[in-house]
Structure formats: C-alpha cells, structure tokens
Structure 1
Amino acid sequence: MVDMLALRLCYPLTLINNNNYIYCRKTLSPLWNTKPRSYSFFKLEARNSKASFNEAAFEAERLTLDAEARQAMADSLQEDPKAWKWVIRKRIWDAMEANNFAQNPRPVHHRIPNFVSASVAADKMRELDVFRVAQCVKVNPDSPQKQVRYLTLSDGKKLLTPQPRLRTGFFSVIESNMLTSGTIKEACTSVGVAKYGRPIGLDEKIKVDLIVIGSVAVDPTTGARLGKGEGFAELEYGMLRYMGAIDDSTLVVTSVHDCQLVDDIPVEKLLIHDVPVDIICTPTQVIFTNTSIPKPQGIYWDKLSPEKLGQIRILRELKRRIELETGQKLPTGPSENLPPTAQRSRRG
C-alpha cells in the first residue's frame, strides 16, 4: 500500500519510478523557441519501500542499460591513437595487466582500474586529518574506491556518491545512522546505493567536506590527473560547484597504485574543466601535491558536446534551468565521438 496525497495533475505528465519514490512530472514543451511550461515534482512515498525493492530486477536492468551504453559508445568510437591522454592511459592499463597489479573487474582498460592493495590505500586515506574531520564525503562509484565508501559509512559519515554515468539520476546520499553493521558493506555497492540511498536533486542543500576521485594516472609533482576519458568526474565536480556544495578550498583526494604515478602529464595541455588532485594515497605512501592548477568553477557549456549532453538527463535539466533563469540560451560545445567503456567480464 502507498500513502498518497490527493493531487490535481495537468496533462501531459510523466510518472517516474525512482528507487523508493514515485515522482509525477509535468512534461516540458519540446519546442525550444517557445516558452516552456512550468514544471514541478510531487513525491509519493511508499510505507514499506525496502520490502518493495527488487535487488535482482534492479541489477539486471542496470547491467542491461550499462551494456547498451557501452556498446553504443564503442560503436561511435574513432579514437585517435596519437592523442596524448590516450597514450598515457593505454600505457598504464597495459602495465597493470602485464604486471598483475590489476584486480577484477578485468581487463582494466577503459576503466578506473581496480588495483592490488586498494584497501591499503583506502586505510591510508582514513588516517588523513581531512578525512577524520569530514562529515560528508563524496566518493566515486568505482571498484578501487569501494573500501573508501565503506570506511566513510563505518566512521559515521555521510556518503555522497554519483549514480553510474549519471545516466538514470544524479547523486545519492547514504546516512550511516540509517544502516546496521550488516548492511554497510552492501550499501557500498551499486545495488546498495539504490536500496539504501536517498536520491537528491540540484536544489539539495548539502556541504561536501572532501572529494574522493578515481584516476587512471596522476602526477605527484603537479596534481594533474587523467580519468578514464568520459569526463563524468569533471561534470560531477561542476554540478557540485553550481549547488554551492563545494568551493576552491574543498580538497580532492585520489587513491591509486604506485604504478599509476606518472611524470608526463603536460599541465599546459590540460583543459579548463580538468580536476586536479590535492592528495594522492597509494598502498605505500601519501603524497601532498600542493597543486597550483586552478580548480574548475562550474560547468563549461561551450566545452560540453551535444552527445554528452544527450547522455545525461540531470545536465539537460540544469541547462534548461539556467536558460530559464537568465533568459539566454547557453552555448554548446563541438560534437565528439564518445570513447568506449570497458566490457564487463562475467568473472568480474
């Protein structure tokens, strides 16, 4: 049974089933040159939401959508093998596989690579003063940072984590006081985030004290970082800036294997939206980069391709919102062939 408020709804509308809630949304006008209709969200909360959550169905749907997205992106790829970022990424991925520094899911190519002793690097991060005092930590959803998510919750902190590829939503917040010792580990997985997390929107008032970000390669002397090439970490950072959840003083930390430390990321070639890191944790050391690379100030719409915008609903919502508020149409970046993502191994 569901407790419901009596609502007068205007046609057309869309019903959205989002984890533990059902949302009713008025449909926006599809005509960009006409005044969009106002829209609003109504939340209908289920009394017994956890009992109604179907883990198997969620995971099956997630894997299906994930495979479709990977295949569509791979089909559109026309990779330039001479592009400098891809040269570095491929070198790191190849080395991790060749030297067995990689852990499942494998192969690590086109992923934020899971690495041997990732939990040791996470434990070193836990010892940082900035981690100890943080009340809310944003952590990426990738495998090598699973232990960081676990430590965040087990230490009584609030975990903010993006939904994979931002394709179906935005961020989810998990409150550690809503979990038991037996459910914390599950809450660190994609299924657990959907089961225990509370989806948030752009209007959420939240302060993030620390950002944990995944990396493929990072330069310990400059703080320059390369991700897997999809740009989601940069988009997440930009949206948090828009929300006022972070600012220039919010530290960015990454955990990597020592073999992922490089010295050939040319700072002068980094883009304005690339996110540098302040601290690097490996299984053997903690490095304070004292980076002088400026942090992004928000979303750079003139760099955002129509293809990337088409992938991410929350970005389209933000773009519409800003255009309505300012009365001006935001620029759009050049088209791009989106890079491939890793093919998931069944044994992974």
Structure 2
Amino acid sequence: MSTTDSSPSSLHRSNSVTSIDDAKQSVRRRVWDLLEREGAAPPGVHGHIPDFVGKEAAAARLTELDAWKQARVIKCNPDRAQLPVRVRALQEGKLLYMAVPRLATPKPFYLLDPDDLEVPFETAATSTGAAEIAPRVGPDDMRPVDMIVCGSVAVSRRNGVRVGKGAGYSDLEIALLTEAGLVTMDTVIATTIHQSQLLDEELPDADHDFSVDYAITPDEVVACTPDRGRPSGILRESLRADQLDDIPVLR
C-alpha cells in the first residue's frame, strides 16, 4: 500500500515549497551573475557562497560591533568568504566552532580553541586545516554560542531574510544547536557579504529559514529587523530523504 500523502493540503505544501525554491534559485543566479560580471567574485562562483572581494574589510567592520566584542564563543561557516572572520575570532581569543562538511560525522562540529592550536590560525581556520587538527564535537560537548556568522548569497536589507547556496546545511546547523539549547533567540546572527549581495527587495523565505540580525559589507553595517522569530528547532517535515540518510545526528 502506498504511503504517499496526496491530500489537498499536502499537495498545496509541496507546490508552495517548489515555488519558494524556484524563487530562491532565481535570486541566486541573478546575484552570482552580477558578482562575476562586476569582478567582485572569482569565476565559477555559481553554486557556492561567494568568495567576494573585500571580505577582509567586511570582517573588520564585523569586529567593531559590540555583539562581537562581547562574544566569547563564535560559530562560523567554513567557506573562504568568512575565513577572515574565523581568523579574527582566534586572534581575539574566542572559541570557534565550524561545521563538519555536510554534517557527515556523528560529532558534526570542529572545535578550534586558540589556546590549544599549534599551527597558524590562518591554517587552522580553513576547512582542510580544521579537518586535520581540530577535534570533532557534538552538541553535548559544546558551549552556548554567543554569535553565529554565516555565509550568504543574498540578503534583504529590510528584514534580513537570507538566501544561501541551496544545500540547507546552515539552517540545519542552527536548528540543531537551537534544539540543544546552545543557540537562543538572543544569539546574534550576522553575515559578511559583498555590497552587490545586499538587495533592496523582499526575498523568498521558507518556514525553516533563519534571518540575520546584521548584514555587513566592506562599506556598511546594516542592522536588520526580522519579520518573524527563528525556528525553535529542526522542522522534520522540511527534511529531505538524503539528509535523513546522510546526517548521523538526525537519526
């Protein structure tokens, strides 16, 4: 007997999700094309968090925020665009968590403690460096997170709605840490981006998405006002079959 839910409400949800996904992909293509055309990101940026020109300046602006100065524990994505952020965190003595790619191990985060590192911070804070030298930890081993810095493809200036590269792992990482009580509604979320990634328009937004509190470019710091609260944890109905199969911590 088939277990497929073909009720009107289920079909409506499916069509709605497809519409949002299509709208997000349209935004991504437009921003990726613009960054390449302007020379603001290297060729081949499509499909990735853009490694943008001016990422060091954006990271420097981020570190001027009071929320950054007060934070002792930072969770940051492993993309090249945010490497200056991760290096600055370690230089300032902050504890740094990075996600294991695709959350593919039972303990899905790397722990980088600047007091324990025996390699240069610029090496330790890369995705390959962390994989070689950093211990892996799970939520039970982690400290509460004071600030999250994420990568983005596009961000709405008005309300901080963020469009990522489409894999969904940033949403899952935050949802996982929220369920564990390590991220709360008071945890500040920021992103560093190129000015061309900051859009003066409404962006598509799904139930499992989070918005950012700050969008920081090389030129400005934008304090955003999200229209709704963040998800209180993992929305199981939003998970894809491959995520359930491939991410041990979800089982």
Which bin holds the TM-score, normalised by the shorter protein? Answer: 0.7 to 0.9
Alignment match, 1:174: 112
The whole-number CA distance in structure 1 between the counterparts of 2:250 and 2:130 is 21
1:162–1:251 CA distance, 2 compared to 1 (3 A): same
The question of 1:292 aligning with 2:214 is answered no
The number of aligned residues is 233
Partner residue of 2:36 out of 91, 97, 118: 97
Give identity over the alignment, percent: 36
Alignment match, 2:46: 109
Contact 2:158 2:201 in 1 (8 A): no
TM-score norm. by structure 1 comes to 0.64
Alignment match, 2:193: 256
The question of 1:274 aligning with 2:212 is answered no
What does the per-residue CA deviation read over 1:95-115, in whole Å, with 9 as the maximum and x for residues that have no partner?
A: 111110003xx4110100110
Contact 1:205 1:243 in 2 (8 A): no
The whole-number CA distance in structure 2 between the counterparts of 1:146 and 1:205 is 21
- Structure 1 letter corresponding to 2:192: S
The whole-number CA distance in structure 1 between the counterparts of 2:227 and 2:171 is 17
What does the per-residue CA deviation read over 1:161-210, in whole Å, with 9 as the maximum and x for residues that have no partner?
A: 10112124501111011125x52111011222123312112322411000
Contact 2:178 2:232 in 1 (8 A): yes
Name which of structure 1's ranges 187-196 and 273-282 shifts more when overlaid on structure 2: 187-196
Contact 1:122 1:255 in 2 (8 A): yes
Contact 1:222 1:293 in 2 (8 A): no
- What SS class does the counterpart of residue 140 from structure 2 fall into? coil
Partner residue of 2:26 out of 79, 83, 87: 87
Contact 2:157 2:201 in 1 (8 A): no
Partner residue of 1:164 out of 86, 90, 101: 101
Partner residue of 1:213 out of 150, 155, 158: 150
Q: How does 1:194-343 map to 2 (within 5 A)?
A: 194-266=131-203, 269-316=204-251
Aligned-pair Cα RMSD in Å:
1.8
The whole-number CA distance in structure 2 between the counterparts of 1:157 and 1:205 is 14
**Bigger relative contact order (CA 8 A; separation at least 6):** 2
Contact 1:204 1:243 in 2 (8 A): no
Q: How does 1:64-75 map to 2 (within 5 A)?
A: none
Stretches of structure 1 that go unaligned for 5 or more consecutive residues are 1-78, 317-348
TM-score norm. by structure 2 comes to 0.88
